[in-house]
Amino acid sequence: MDIEYTAAGVIADLQELAALTSDEKGAQRVAWTPVWDTAETWFKEKMTAEGATVTVDSAHNVWAKFAGETEEAVIIGSHLDSVPDGGWLDGALGVVAGMGIGKRYGIHGVKPKKTIYIVCWADEEGARFSQSCMGSAAISGMFTAEKAKNLTDNEGVRFQEALQRYGLQAEDFSKARAEFLEKPIAAYLELHIEQAPVLEQAHKSVACVYGVTGCYRQYLTFTGQQSHSGSPIAMRHDAFLAAAQASLAFREIGIRHEGYCTVGKVAVEPDVVTIFPGRCIISLDQRSIEGATLDIMVAEAKQAAEQAAADNGVTVSFEEIWYTPPTVFDASLTALCQQAVEAETGEAATMYSGPLHDAVEISKVVPSVMMFAMSHNGLSHCKEEDTPLPVLKQAIRAFLRLADTVVNI
């Protein structure tokens, strides 16, 4: 089965999955819902038909095994879950590209040197229970039963209740790491769309991803004194204006350090049109590929927030939500990934990722690397998410080259 034929088959399967699990608003494969179940059943049936042995681990990661000449194994995959009204490629591209590789070495292909596992990691998006990378973090040991027990969705449904549908309990997630470590894994490979406009603006279709930014996430609470909107502005203790001033400063910090600063959530109290807010809570997500730079950005953001609070006669407090350090992928796999991109496109394009991926968690356990396909207009997590088919096919071919090399060395 040649690479061109396989790449065409991957695109056909992606289109089939999209038709099966999307509506007019986009993909609806939110984890721990019936549509996600449909996607996983589709994966299992496709892989079983190709001769794979399909299993589900204690964190509900789904595995399709193609036995090789040796037990030493390569994992290829990503996630099938989506955000609500999501795109047809996010996550699915990596899984379905893995399925294409499985077909190359399944009952219709040749036996690989290494054993191949195609994996669908459980709940990468965190769309329902606000916890990203559940399945892969269970493997790395970062997602524990204690965390699982405390999760609820927007309707108040506890994660423990949702797990009953899958015959699981929160305590089961901790078993997944030991199950994983029983496998003699040599490498993990993941293809994903970029989810940003960098490649398109550089007129590139595909790139090797050498690392992923670290991230520091926190809530900032500005506290002043609410009062009537007829009060003179200069005499107010307006919590929202302090948060707004700080947010503009965060933007400049991100630009100055070539990093990322994002205020994604804003809540004001009392949230009334004729009252200026006495309290404003905002989220701040900061990212950099350099750990030292991220530390500087976080410190500068604190200074900027404190200055904004002082300028507006309010106070500010800080609550850390989450932190993960920058990830740099395995050097040997990165070199092979660069070679595959160059062989397919004529140039060894390399970049790092701003968004988080399952590969970050898996790289804590086994050597890993990623490859990015260009995202049209940089859009993702929306129905407009797309990659032109000729570009998508070239990215898939490059990834197939990488997989063929790693599986057979």
Binding-site positions: 79, 90, 125, 192, 381
Q: Binding site for Zn(2+): which residues?
A: 79, 90, 125, 192, 381
- Residue 109 CA to residue 87 CA, distance in Å, equals 31
Measured between alpha carbons, how far is 308 from 239 in angstroms, rounded to an integer?
10
